[in-house]
Structure formats: structure tokens, C-alpha cells
Amino acid sequence: MTATTDGSTGALPPRAAAASDTQTPGAAGVSETAARAARRATDFLLSLQDTQGWWKGDLETNVTMDAEDLLLRQFLGIRDDKTTQAAALFIRGEQREDGTWATFHGGPGELSTTIEAYVALRLAGDAPEAAHMARASAWIRAQGGIAAARVFTRIWLALFGWWKWEDLPELPPELIFFPKWVPLNIYDFGCWARQTIVPLTVVSAKRPVRPAPFPLDELHTDPAHPNPAKPLAPPLSWDGAFQRMDKALHALRKVAPRGLRRAAMNSAARWIVERQENDGCWGGIQPPAVYSIIALHLLGYDLQHPVMREGLASLDRFAVWREDGARMIEACQSPVWDTCLAAIALVDAGLPADHPQLVKAADWMLGEEIVRPGDWSVRRPGLPPGGWAFEFHNDNYPDIDDTAEVVLALRRIAHHDPERIDRAIGRGVRWTLGMQSRNGAWAAFDVDNTSPFPNRLPFCDFGEVIDPPSADVTAHVVEMLAVEGLAHDPRTRRGIEWLLAEQEPDGSWFGRWGVNYVYGTGSVVPALVAAGIPAAHPAIRRAVTWLESVQNDDGGWGEDLRSYRDPARWSGRGASTASQTAWALMALLAAGERQSRTVERGVEWLAATQRADGSWDEPHFTGTGFPWDFSINYHLYRQVFPLTALGRYVHGEPFADRLKGT
């Protein structure tokens, strides 16, 4: 039996037999096969580089991005037929046979996503009695209708009177005045949540309603009573306490001093405008840009105001137009991340370190270094800047993961100005060390962003809203510090100790920003080995045993996103993918398993599934925004990680070891 891709049965792929780990005499043939595959992959990846030096693959998420883009345009009165029909073409193409929409390839239907997609198609003119629409509305009603949708979906519906504002959680704009030591201040939220919540406090205070272009009675289980009251949790529970606090905030709204509320909204507006990036966006991601535009518009900014004009223009840059005329919206763009990973892959695959395209990539990455303070400096006011962000423009929020990988990439490239490289790397290392959390680990954007309260708010029922340290980010930092000669630095050792303590009982590591235990393990094992942990260490051996146990019968590795909700059933289980197979191989190669049949079979799978042009196909989502709730298919993952794994298989010793010998 093979793994399913449609999510209908939940069948698991078979595990490989333990006997497959014995060495076979075909190693030389496998090496030649791997070398040929790596050469083809190198040529293909080089062909994708932009003339400015960067790489960027499409960043595919789910149709809520496209639906909310249309709803925004409807709200602002700027929706046009071309954009609407192009978005509808994409949305229709993503609908499942049962009438639903999922949040990842092969995943189950998801209620809020299906509601938003349905409403978008109604905007595009699809009749509710059409077969595909009737299937969707029947499924929505069977799941509880609009009343069972997440808060963010009901906010969008409230903008058009399809839901009552008073039946949504209250989000007071006075939150902007909370000092950083007060619980639930805006800096208790992760940066992505913070950028969304501040403008939404304005929207929540204003409670706007635009005329609905049509009714949505067909999405309610009881159209006569569409807003049923939800029972309160016990008062002594956290959920019950926050629900009652929300009721108090609703009552406070009626008596809150108007001057104070007006001042709070004006402060929120200043906060929003100050964080608009040079390209007009906010944080380089689509959702905060959408809500910021709505909030500023409600505060009197007309559409021709420079802030609004540039903000709307930035949203158009998130659109990917396909050959069939469909229009897909990216939640954000990943050029820095894609470029540093591409450079690492190419060097590890044997491309000369002074290759002109690598030097051009280094020049572009050097130009993307962020040398001014951002919101991270609220917690680290004395720390000099020096990191890199994920996107083209996101100077307020450099992230630790990108910074670590950019340093690893720059260190691999023989640049014509090595002193410039050293200075940039020095700033990046200093900034990264300064962003270490109290427990010795690293998060993606902030320091000690671990308050338990934000996730308890009734408003926050979708995805992660805090940014605690994770094994994958910490591993990338430890690997970078080891390459920079800091493996024995006390701060690095604290990170290593944290990683060793975080290992799961089965030998794997949880993957916060990639799916999931395969990603975590594929990140941690190379980092520990680079930092001097011997391959014979019990933690490394447990990881190897786990990876061997979850290899698929076809020789590859895969993991379904359902492992975030049901690790006992899905950890390390799923249809084989190019990126996840590469992560497993990177860990096994770092652990000294190059001669094992397990590794050979993984390499053979990569070579056998490579397309004639040197690329791989990968419809499955292997990236993570919020575990389970928001999943990502990075279209370049299927290229850079297989090339990295093949290169390390062909060339043997890890880059860190090669660097020590120079």
C-alpha cells in the first residue's frame, strides 16, 4: 500500500524493512548516479537565478489569501472584473471533489477556508445553485455554518453585515498604550500577530459595515438565528476567564472615554505608518498589509494618499499570474531565504566558490543586510543591528533563521572583497548571539516571546501568536556559530544543551518552521555534528535509528502535516517528497551513514524522481507558517534541498569540516 495524496482515507505509507540497511556492492554506481543528478540539478538551479543575483520560488499557501484579496477590493470599492475572474479561476481549481477547500495538498476540507472561498466565488458571479457551490454550502452547513468559523473569517463577513460585530471578541485599541511589562502588551505577541492585531484594534473599534452584494443565508444552519450564543467555559479555567474578560471589554466599550479611544486609534495609526516598508508593504507579508490598509482607510486616509497608494501597489506584487490566466496570491515572498539556501546547495554540490553567479548572489545578500533597529530592539535596546530578513523589504523584522543561513552561505563564497564579507558576517553573528533567549535557544524573530496569555485570547483562535524558541532555528544558529569557530563558546554550548534536552523519546526533533519531525531532525543532527558532538553520541544514534525506521518502501521520506496534531500516527509518515528525503539524507550523512543502504536508497529515490530538466516535482506542502493551521509549499525547496543532499553525498565531508582544513 502506498501513501495517499488526497487525504480521504488517512492511510499511512509502509515503513521500510530493517534489512534494507545492509551495505551492498553498488555504492560506486550510486555515487555516479548521484553525481549526474547533482550536475543536472545544478544547471537547473543556476538557470533560475534573477539577473540581480537572487533566487525566489513561488510561495504557495491556500485560497484564503485570494479570497481576502477580493474581499478587500470589494470593501474599498476597487474590485475589477479581470482580477476577480483570474482569482476565481485559481480558487475553483483548488476545490476538492467533496466541495471543500483544504489548507494543504492532500489535506482535509477546512471550514473557514471553504467559507471564504465560497464567498469569493459568489463575488465572481458563481450562482449558489451551481453544482460546485451547492456542494460547498451543504458541507459548510453540515460543519456548523458560519457560526463555527474562526474569528478572522467572521471579521471579514462582519465588514459586509454577514455577521454581527457585537458577536465577535472585542479588541480595544487602548492595547497600544500598554507598556512592555504589562501582560498582553503588543510585544507579547509574535511579530506577525503584532502587525495584524494593531490595525485590527482600529477595525474592531470602528465596526464598519459595507452594503452586502448578496445574502449568505445558505451558509447558516439556522438563517433566522445566524448568530447563536456560545456557552462559556468554567469560570476557573483559563478559557473561561478570558471569555469573561471579553464580556467585560464589550461592556467597557459603551463607557470608554471617547478622547482616550480616539487617541489610541491615532497612536495605532502612527505605529502602522511608521512600520510601512520602503516597498509599501508591512512586514513583507500579505495579512498585515491588508488589515493596515483597511484600518488607515477607516481613519480617513483616502486611496490616493501615498501610504495607501503604495500599500495597494505592494499587494499587487504578491500576485502570481499563471499561464492559464489564473491569479494566485502569495502570503509573502522568500528571496533572501531562497537565495542563501540556493548558494549553500550550489557550493556543497561542487560549484566553484568564486563562480560569477555565486559572487552575484553574495553581492545581493550583502545589500540586503539590515543595519537599523527594528521591533526586536524593544527587548534588546542596546544590541547593534546586523541581521537579514526573509523578504525583499522587511527592515523592521530581520529573523534569526535567515541570518544564520545567510552567514553560512556567505562563508562558502569566495568574494572579491573578503573584508566586506567578514564585516557583514561579524555583525550578523553579534546580532544573533544577542538574540539568544533565556533558556539558551533561539526563536525566529524575538527574544523570550513566550507569554502564555496571548494564545488564550478568544480573538486568537487561528495559528500561533507567540514566537518561542524552536529546535530548527536553534540548530541553524548552532551550525553557523560552529562554522564561525564558536563551537566552544558558552552561548553555543547552552544552545547545544537545549537541543539535546529537546530530543523526542523516539529520537527525532520537532520542526517548527518545516514539516515536521523530519525537518527538525534534518536540521539538528548536522548542527550537532558541526559543533563537535560525535556521530557515536547516543542522541545522534537515536536520531539515525528513527530516520531508518520511517524510511518509505520506495526509499524516500515524507511526513504529512497531520503530524502536528497526531504525532503518534503521523510522525515521519507521509508520501515521499524531494525536500523531506533530502532533509533525512542530510542528517544521515552528517551522522556518518554515507555507506549505509538506507542512504543509498534515499539517493536512488532522488535520482529516479528527478525530471529530465534537472528539477523535482513536489505538490506536497513541506513548509510551516503556523503548525497545522497555516502550511506552505516553497516551490524552491524541491530544488535546493535535494541538490544539497546529493552534493554532500558525492563530496563526502560536510562543509564545516572542509572549512577547518582551509
Count of residues in the chain: 662
Distance CA 370, CA 366 (A): 9
Q: What is the DSSP letter of 352?
A: -
559 and 573 in contact (C-beta within 8 Å)? Answer: yes
Distance CA 481, CA 407 (A): 9
293 and 72 in contact (C-beta within 8 Å)? Answer: yes
Type of residue found at 653? E
3-state secondary structure 447-482: CCECCCCHHHCCCCCCCCCCECCCHHHHHHHHHHHH
Distance CA 521, CA 606 (A): 19
Distance CA 502, CA 638 (A): 28
90 and 328 in contact (C-beta within 8 Å)? Answer: yes
Burial of 378 (0-12, 13-18, 19+ CB in 10 A): middle
Type of residue found at 98? D
Catalytic residue numbers, as ranges: 401
Distance CA 78, CA 311 (A): 14
Type of residue found at 228? P
Q: How distant is the alpha carbon of residue 481 from its chain centre? A: 24
Sheet holding 59-60, edge to edge: 59-60, 630-634, 623-626
137 and 219 in contact (C-beta within 8 Å)? Answer: yes
436 and 388 in contact (C-beta within 8 Å)? Answer: no
Q: Within a 13 Å sphere around the CA of 510, how many CA atoms are in the beta-carbon half?
A: 16
Beta-carbon contacts of 49 under 8 Å, excluding residues fewer than 6 positions away, are 55, 342, 357, 360, 361
* Residue 332, SS3 per DSSP: strand
Distance CA 214, CA 212 (A): 5
Crossing angle of the two packed helices 471-483 and 400-412, in degrees rounded to 10: 30
